[in-house]
Chains A and B, each alone.
Chain A
């Protein structure tokens, strides 16, 4: 299988009050055609920065300081403005946590869909395409949705509209940043089903960014776990969730409450990493129960291990998640 998304040695930093702070350290990651990759981690780990970098949507002050991003053969970081406008939407599209912010409150949905088509020079059966896209994402009565303004729609419906908007141009890669975090569980299940159907019918490659390990377990084929601006573990979803290798992945999985299990949750000791003072060695070492001298000296490289990759000097310590068996 060919890789649709290829990130090689990517580093990103932000200028905060005149000082540079590194948000991503030397990230390398690939997503194969038609694959759904889950990018997980806690707030501040850099997962949204990575997602934004793929669309060249880094906020002001953010800067790529090294590395390359290739999407469907296009060298994303060297696209000029014209090429970038075509790239966004036609090659790679993005949906966000809060669709209300992404939609213009002053125009009906139909107008906003037309704007997308016009901006990308689509001619011909525009209206038919719009209705088809709205129907495909499971919105009942697409005609009335076309006339509706964003505030007429519920959160779940707005997220469906955003996905329909992305569908209009049939992008190769869809980047979804916490698309279900603001939704109720019943609606969340519907949106996850919709994303899976998108991949199954159109072969869309999806980068699914989430802090919700439940949604990732439900939807993704493969997972990458991030901590303090680095990828600490990647693997097939079944293998990684059954037997996480990195102590941080393991800690995350044991800290999730489940109604099936009332045993005391194992919380992660210590404080989340301070990005202003990056650690010399492994960023997780101060909170890790297994850390040894070598962990503090230098960050462990991400090395291949049994179908995945782990950035830990002691991966042999790992085993199945115990105590809170699921």
Chain B
């Protein structure tokens, strides 16, 4: 195994059955994640993007064992995530941390910031010599140390988000997974959080995965990009190469749908019509064919395998090579 690989996922699936009880029985399972493979080196940064219902949050949770994958192999920092041994789980929590979308919901309202930040050390029985103080952790996320004695309700959304990042950093993980780290934040607070994440990666070699529907966030905060649609990754590669020359029609539509902060780049017609089909019953062939302007008969029957479109890029589209050529012209 390559020593440089921090996260490796191989053909991961997460299917949720119809549910027990009268109504759920006999219904097709929801194929939230349906055969995803990816890898991330130590210190790497990855943006996982897709519309709601694409399976991006489920995949992120599977990587940390928070949601059980139903098949496939996942390893993080050399730990087999799916084996589920107790010792492994604890080691995994030290190696990889997640910050959730709603920071106020993930911080106990009864604990002070200081208690929240030092609680991980008690859980993991970290010897005092290896602990960071609450003040040091607050300093890492650029918050003044007087916040240590506040309660979560006294913090603004941006400050609460920083505290949850500081808490995640307490155990000095190698990997941070951030689910929509800027959701609900104002422009200036969001900019500060993204700049903080970039700085942490540069200064401490922290690897992170940013899960988001916002391509602008990803373009700023990540080096690698994976685009998900209905449970599968449709395109993957270095973020700027992909966004400037997308090979998959879905990625093209996402880029063209972005409301750019420039009245001169107005979108005249919405690039994509319709809605994401149900993951209970994904379309046969290419999952995107029902909304794809390039779809032909072959797309409706034959699922496109990931094509290597450049040395560093993959795109799961029968037309990927043609699309790349067209954009080069």
Contact = CB atoms under 8 A, between A and B. Distances in A.
Contacts of A266: 191
A211 B187 contact: yes
Contacts of B255: 259
A262 B191 contact: no
A319 to B, nearest CB: 17
Contact of A255 (B187, B262, B271): B187
B188 A268 contact: yes
A290 B220 CA distance: 28
Given A184-B213, A267-B188, A217 B262 contact: yes
A251 B187 CA distance: 10
Contacts of A258: 216, 219-220, 260-261
B191 A185 contact: no
B218 interface: yes
A204 interface: no
B273 A217 contact: no
B221 interface: yes
Given A156-B275, A186-B254, A259-B239, A217 B191 contact: no
B211 to A, nearest CB: 14
Contacts, number: 132
B213 to A, nearest CB: 6
B259 A215 contact: yes
Contact of B187 (A187, A190, A256, A326): A256
B260 A214 contact: yes
Interface residues of B, number: 44
A157 interface: yes
A96 interface: no
Q: Which has the most chain B C-beta neighbours within 10 Å: A184, A212, A251?
A: A184
A253 interface: yes
Contact of B264 (A238, A260, A272): A238
Contacts of B219: 257-260, 262
Which of B187, B240, B243, B267 has the largest count of A CB atoms less than 10 A from its CB? B187
Nearest to A253: B261
Contacts of A184: 51-52, 213
Given A190-B273, A268-B188, A262 B262 contact: no
A34 to B, nearest CB: 18
Interface in A164-222: 184-190, 192-193, 211-215, 217-218
Interface in B79-135: none
A187 B276 CA distance: 10
Interface in B265-301: 266-275
B329 interface: no
Given A264-B195, A326-B261, 13 more contacts: A42-B188, A157-B275, A185-B254, A185-B257, A185-B258, A186-B257, A186-B270, A212-B259, A215-B259, A218-B266, A252-B187, A252-B188, A262-B220
The 9 closest A-B pairs by CB, nearest first: A259-B219, A214-B259, A257-B220, A42-B186, A189-B270, A184-B51, A268-B188, A255-B191, A190-B270
